[in-house]
Structure 1
C-alpha cells in the first residue's frame, strides 16, 4: 500500500473511530451530561441569527471565533431540544476532525502506525472517560482549530500555520501560549524576517476576527476580554483544591459564590491564593519558553513537546480548571513522542478518570457542601496534571527518539 492510500485509510479509520466514540457517549452507556452550557449557546446563537450584534446588543464572554458553533445550530433549529441535538452532532464532527488532524500531525513527526493508533485511541478514550458533558461544550471545536494550526506548523506551512494559530487564539485564548515557541523556532530555523512574518500573520488573524466587533462595540469587546483574564478562583483549580484540602484537614474557613460563569471560592485567603497561582502560572510558562529557546534542537518533535508543556502549564496553574479543559490537553499531549509522551498520556487519562469521580453529578455537592470525597478527588486530579507537566519538561539522561 503506497503512502497516500495508507494515509487515506488511517484518516477513514480515525473518523470512524471518532463516530463510534460519539455513539458510545450519546448512547447513555457512560451516563448523561448532567450540566449543559447549550442553553447559553442557544441564546447567543438565536440573537445573532435574528440580527443582533454580539458585544453590542448583548454581552458575550467568549471570543468571536467561538460564535460559529453557537450560531450554526440556531440557524437550523427552532427548539432547545433540536438545538441540543444539532450542537451535539457538530461536536461529534469536531471530534472526528480532531482525530484526523492527530493522524496528519503524527505523519509530519514520522510516527509509526502503532504510535498513531495509540494516540488516536488515547484521545478518544479520554473524551469517553470525561463523558457526555463534553458534547455540551464547544471545547472540541476549539481543540480542532488549535490542532489544525499545529498540523500546519508541523508540515511547514509558513503562512497557513500562523494564520490558523491566530484563528485558534480568537476562538479560545489558550493557544496563545504556543506563539512564543513558534517565534523562537522560526527565528532559529529561518531567521528574524520569517519570525516577524509569523507574528504579524498570527496577530493579524486575531485582529481580523476581533476588529469588526471592536470597531462597532469596543466597550463590549473589552468587557469580554476582561471577563476571560480577570476571573476569580474557580473551585476546581489547583489553588482551590489546596484550600479545600486545608479546609478538611485543618478547618480553614471557606466560602463560595457564583460569578463570571463559574463557581468560585471567595474571601481574603482565596484572593491571596489567586495571586499566587497567577505568579506560579506565569513562571511555569516562562520556564517552558526559556527552556525551549535554550535548547539546541528545534525539530518538530521538540516543538510539540514544549507546546504541550505550555498548554498543560496554562491549564494546571490557571485560576480556572473546568473539566472540559482536559479536552485541550488530550488533543496535544497525544502528539508527544517517545516514552515521555506515553507516560504523559497515561497520566492524563488518569486525570480524566478522576474528573469523572465528581463531575457532573457530584459537582454541586463539591460547591455547596465542600464534599470531602469530591474535594480530595479534585486535588488528586490537579496533582496528576502537575505530574504531566513535570514529565513533559523533565530532563532525561538518555536522549529520547524523535520518532514515535
Structure 2
C-alpha cells in the first residue's frame, strides 16, 4: 500500500520533469529558428514583426484599420498587449514567457482534474508530450492562450456553470472557437446558466473594449474576404488538381498562403456549406441525445471543433494546439469516448510539423511530397472528425444506456460503478 502511495506521489514529479524538459527543447528550437529545417526564421517572424506592429497600434488605443492581416475578434487586443506587463523584457521575449505561463496553467489544470478520484492523468500527459510535436510553433502564436480559456471553461463546468460560461466567452472574444466549449453542456438549468453567463460576460467585455479602443469590429471586413488556404481540405483537393492541369497559383494574402484561380470561390463556398452542415449535425445531436456522462461536454467540444476545423477554408498548423488541448481534457475523464480520436489527433500533429515548417516549400508548390503530406494530415483530421462525432452520437442514445444496464445486470456488476455528478444528470 505504501508503494502504491509512493507511486502516485511520484507521478506529478515525473510530469513536471517532462514538462520542463520538453519546454526547454521547444525554447532551444525557437532560439535556432533560422535553421532551414525549422523554417529559416518564418515561425518567429510573426511575433517579432506582425504582432509587434499590431502592438504599436493597439497601444495607441485603436484596433488596426484596413489591415487585411487583422482578422481577429476584439479580445485578441489585450492578449497582444499583455507583453507590456513585463517591461524588463523585449516584446518577443515577454510574449514567449506569457505563452509558457499559459501552457503551464493548462498543464496544472489538467493534472489537477486528472488527479481526482475516478479521473486520469492521461490528459496532462498527452498535453505535455504531444504539444512539442509542433516544435517551437506553439511558443510563437497566441493559440496556447486561447486554448487555456477553453480548457479551463470545460474543467470548471462540474463546479461552477457560471465560471464555465465566462471563460468560454473570454476565449471566444479572442478567437471565436472556444464558444464551442458550451455545445455539450447538459440540457436544462446547466445550459441556461452557462450560456447566460457567457452572454453577459461577452457583452460586458465587448462594451469595455469598444469604450477603450476605436474600430473594434473592423476585423469583420477582412475575415469575409479569405480564400482557400493551401493547408485546408479544399486546398488539398486543389493541390492535386494542379497535377491534373488546373491553372491555379498560390499567393500570400490575408495572412496565409492561399490558392487563386478558377473554381477557388466554388471550393470556398463548398467549405462554408460543409461548416453549416456540421453545425446542423451538432444541433441534431443535442436534440436527440438523452444520456450524458461527466465526459459528454468534453467529448462534444472536441467533436464540434474537429468538425469546424476540417470544414474550414483555413487549417493553419497552430490549429492543432486547440485540438490537443481539447483531446487532453477528454482524457482526464475515464468516461470519455474519444481515446482513439485523441490518438488520431496526435498522429495528425506529427505530420503537420513535417509539413510546416520543415517541408512547407513542397506544400506551397504542390509537389507530390507536399500534396501527400497534406493528404495524410487532413485525412487523419477528417477521420478523427467523423469518428469523434459518431462516438459522441452513439454515447448519447438511450438504447445504448439500456444495453449497458442490461449487461451490468447479467454479469452482476454494479449498475453505476462511477457515480456521475448531479450537474450531468438529465431528465428524460
Deviation per residue, 1:278-307 (Å, 9 max, x gap): 111221232133224312212221221111
**Is the Cα contact below 8 Å between 1:102 and 1:120 reproduced in 2?**
yes
Equivalent runs, 1:71-220 vs 2, <5 Å = 71-74=81-84, 76-77=86-87, 82-106=90-114, 110-112=118-120, 116=121, 118-153=122-157, 155-182=158-185, 185-187=186-188, 190=189, 195-214=191-210, 220=215
How many aligned positions are there?
Answer: 382
Find the residue that maps to 1:319 and give its secondary structure. Answer: coil
The answer on whether the counterparts of 1:177 and 1:314 sit within 8 Å (CA) in structure 2 is no
Alignment match of 1:265 (pick from 251, 259, 265): 259
When structure 1 is superposed on structure 2, of 369-378 and 7-16 the one drifting more is: 7-16
Q: CA deviation at 1:136?
A: 0.6
Secondary structure at the counterpart of residue 150 of structure 2? helix
Equivalents in 2 of 1:362, 1:64: separation in Å? Answer: 33
> Which structure 2 segments of 5+ residues have no match?
395-399, 406-415, 419-428
Aligned-pair RMSD on alpha carbons? 3.2
**What is the Cα deviation at residue 236 of structure 1?**
0.5
**Alignment-derived partner of residue 18 in structure 1:** 19
After the TM superposition, which of the residue ranges 300-309 and 393-402 deviates more from structure 2? 393-402
Residue in 1 that maps onto 2:353:
356
Structure 1 residue 98 displacement after superposition: 1.0
Is 1:315 matched up with 2:313?
Answer: no
**Shift in CA distance, 30/296, structure 1 to aligned 2, threshold 3 Å:** farther
Q: CA deviation at 1:18?
A: 2.6
Equivalent-residue separation in structure 2 for 1:350 and 1:360 (angstroms): 17
Matched, 1:233 2:233: no
Residue number in structure 2 paired with 1:372: 368
How many angstroms apart in 2 are the aligned matches of 1:331 and 1:23?
A: 20
Deviation of 1:129 (Å)? 0.9
Most deviating of 334-343 and 83-92: 334-343
Q: Distance in 2 between matches of 1:343 and 1:18?
A: 24
Query: Displacement, 1:31?
Result: 6.7
Q: Distance in 2 between matches of 1:279 and 1:54?
A: 31
| Counterpart position of 1:40 | 50
Can you give the 5+ residue segments of structure 1 that lack an aligned partner in the other structure? Answer: none
Measure the CA separation in 2 of the matches of 1:203 and 1:364.
Answer: 43
| Cα displacement (A) at 1:159 | 1.4
Pick the aligned partner of 2:344 from 337, 343, 347.
347
Residues 217/140 of structure 1: CA separation in 2 closer, same or farther (3 Å cut): closer
For the 8 Å contact 1:66–1:142, the answer to whether it is kept is no
The two structures have a TM-score, normalised by structure 2, of 0.79
Higher-Rg member (1/2): 2
Q: How many Å apart are 1:172 and its aligned residue?
A: 1.1
Instruction: Report what 1:52 is aligned to.
Output: 61
> Any idea what SS the aligned residue of 1:312 has?
helix
Name the residue aligned to 2:249: 255
